[in-house]
Structure 1
Amino acid sequence: MGVRLASEDGFKPPSTADFELPPVFGDNPFTTKPVFLVFFSVILISVFFILASRKAAIVPSKLQFAGESVYGFVRNDLARDVIGHEFMRFVPYLFTLFTFILTNNLFGIIPFLQFPTMSRVSFPYVLAMFTFVIFHYVAIKHKGLIAYLKEIMFMPGVPKPVYILLTPIEVATYFLVRPLTLSLRLFANMFAGHLLLLVFILGGEHLLQGVIGLKLVSPFAFAFGIALTFFEFMVQCLQAYIFTLLTALYIAGALADEH
């Protein structure tokens, strides 16, 4: 957890500096805590679903039921209902995306880990880039490059003079706004949530070191921090869902025929 304890100079409120974690080994930037958490999440997800599916039975065990529930949710509610009849070929990516984001988000409230990986903007950028490449590739393969670019730049049913204003907006939307908003939405929510938790937890700790009046207030800071932890859990799940849902919507739009 990127925290700084109160020092002799007084309480230093949490800031962006708490997210700048130093390398664990030497000066290698690839050995920071977020990088380790990403690799740990891959191992954790793999082990969980291997164990959940290893002894699959008609009457599922609790572990198998949990694994199948997550898979069924992504396959049915995010892939089938959004994309349509061609959904199965995109289920592996959407399933991987959802479980990866969810696990790394939840690290922010898990004791001893306590750092949401997606609060480092580089990780959401990479995930958004994968989605960006996939939905453009799907659209080009389905419609052809010329037809796809024509669809983006010249929306059907629009008066020609409007294209002067509309075409730059549409091009920016498809090639810049979508990947940026997709990644920044996830990053901002994880960053802000973690920062709020730091404010109340570290603030409560600092109040305990003060005079008797401040000591009496500190339990309220801790209580609010605990309440925020439950709220943050909902936000973490919701952001994993939204990122995957928007990816499915972009893919569905890439497969949609022009009318």
Structure 2
Amino acid sequence: MADEGGITFHPPSIDDFFPAALLFEGTPFEITRITLAQFLATLALVLLLVLATKRMRVVPGRMQSVMELGFGFVREQIAFQILGEKDGRRFLPLLTTFFFTILFMNVTGIIPGINIPGTSVAGAPLVFALVAYVVFIYAGIRKHGGLRFLKNSLVPSGVPAYLIPIIAVVELISTFIARPVSLFLRLLLNVLVGHMMLVLFFSATHFFALNLNAFTPLAAGTFALSLAFTLFELFVYILQAYVFTVLTAVYIQLAVAEEH
């Protein structure tokens, strides 16, 4: 879109998620802006954990208090509440890692200078989903053995014999295919769409205000929407980390349950 002076408005597109290489172009170690966002999110998380736990005190300081609050939330509201204390302790490290890693990678989408989530391309959500899937299978096999786990997963108790073939196929798709795919797509698409909306609002503000050399009412409106949607996206980023972790815990609980 262009005005009478030929100024062009560039809306967000899928090309935003295929940025140019910053380093090592054309190699397996190619670094893009999204890869850099993932590195920075991981580094920030590791530094925060190190600094918060470096000098643990009985009366915690601010940073230690924040981290204890975060760990306590995952432990009490997700791990113990869904899996119980025994299994919750077993899988707490994995669930905590999921929650904080996804959260920090999501939040890079609203950090000035980065402005893109580390989870906005398929690689990161796919890795998280595959790890959750492998742990779900592992938990079920370790608890019941391979054959019993498969039977519990595919044939719920009380199903009439003549319905077993149909139910088994349905359960096979829903349990072993739909679960990892839904984990992957839910995280990826929510973050991807949110990023495109943010880019749209900020691009419109730039177009109306800076390119037209006047802070017009339209620019003020799109800027207000940009700020409001930034706060909303922060909420979505936290929610997506929570939902992914909760669903992982639920799937593990279903795997270790006696009957489904």
TM-score, normalising length: structure 1: 0.92
- For residues 158 and 72 of structure 2, the distance between their equivalents in structure 1, rounded to whole angstroms, comes to 39
What SS does the corresponding residue of 1:126 show, helix, strand or coil? helix
Other-structure match for 2:48: 48
Letter in 1 for 2:33: K
Other-structure match for 1:10: 8
Q: Which moved more, 1:77-86 or 1:154-163?
A: 154-163
Other-structure match for 2:80: 80
Tell me how far 1:82 sits from its aligned partner. Answer: 0.7
Q: Which moved more, 1:77-86 or 1:6-15?
A: 6-15
- For residues 216 and 50 of structure 1, the distance between their equivalents in structure 2, rounded to whole angstroms, comes to 47
Other-structure match for 1:170: 171
Tell me how far 1:161 sits from its aligned partner. Answer: 2.2
The within-5 A match list for 1:95-110 is 95-110=96-111
- For residues 134 and 174 of structure 2, the distance between their equivalents in structure 1, rounded to whole angstroms, comes to 15
Aligned residues: 253
- Where does structure 1 differ by over 3 angstroms across 4 or more consecutive aligned residues? 6-9
Whether 2:230 is the aligned partner of 1:229: answer yes
Tell me how far 1:165 sits from its aligned partner. Answer: 2.4
Tell me how far 1:13 sits from its aligned partner. Answer: 1.4
- Is the 8 Å Cα contact of residues 208 and 219 (structure 2) preserved in structure 1? yes
What SS does the corresponding residue of 2:259 show, helix, strand or coil? coil
Gap change, CA 1:132 and 1:219, over 3 Å in 2: same
Tell me how far 1:118 sits from its aligned partner. Answer: 0.9
User: Which structure 2 segments of 5+ residues have no match?
Assistant: none
- For residues 46 and 90 of structure 1, the distance between their equivalents in structure 2, rounded to whole angstroms, comes to 20
The within-5 A match list for 1:118-157 is 118-157=119-158
Share of identical aligned residues, percent?
Answer: 33
- For residues 229 and 211 of structure 1, the distance between their equivalents in structure 2, rounded to whole angstroms, comes to 24
- For residues 82 and 152 of structure 1, the distance between their equivalents in structure 2, rounded to whole angstroms, comes to 18
Tell me how far 1:211 sits from its aligned partner. Answer: 8.5
Tell me how far 1:22 sits from its aligned partner. Answer: 1.4
Residues 106-150 of structure 1: per-residue CA shift (max 9 Å, x gap): 110111111111111221011000000001011011001011111
- For residues 192 and 250 of structure 1, the distance between their equivalents in structure 2, rounded to whole angstroms, comes to 26
Q: CA RMSD in A?
A: 1.9
TM-score, normalising length: structure 2: 0.92
Q: Which moved more, 1:32-41 or 1:247-256?
A: 32-41
Tell me how far 1:215 sits from its aligned partner. Answer: 2.8
Tell me how far 1:8 sits from its aligned partner. Answer: 5.2
Letter in 2 for 1:239: Q
Tell me how far 1:37 sits from its aligned partner. Answer: 2.1
User: Which structure 1 segments of 5+ residues have no match?
Assistant: 1-5
- Is the 8 Å Cα contact of residues 42 and 105 (structure 2) preserved in structure 1? no
Letter in 2 for 1:27: G
Tell me how far 1:77 sits from its aligned partner. Answer: 1.0
Residues 145-180 of structure 1: per-residue CA shift (max 9 Å, x gap): 011111222221011222232211100112110000
Tell me how far 1:42 sits from its aligned partner. Answer: 2.0
Other-structure match for 1:61: 61
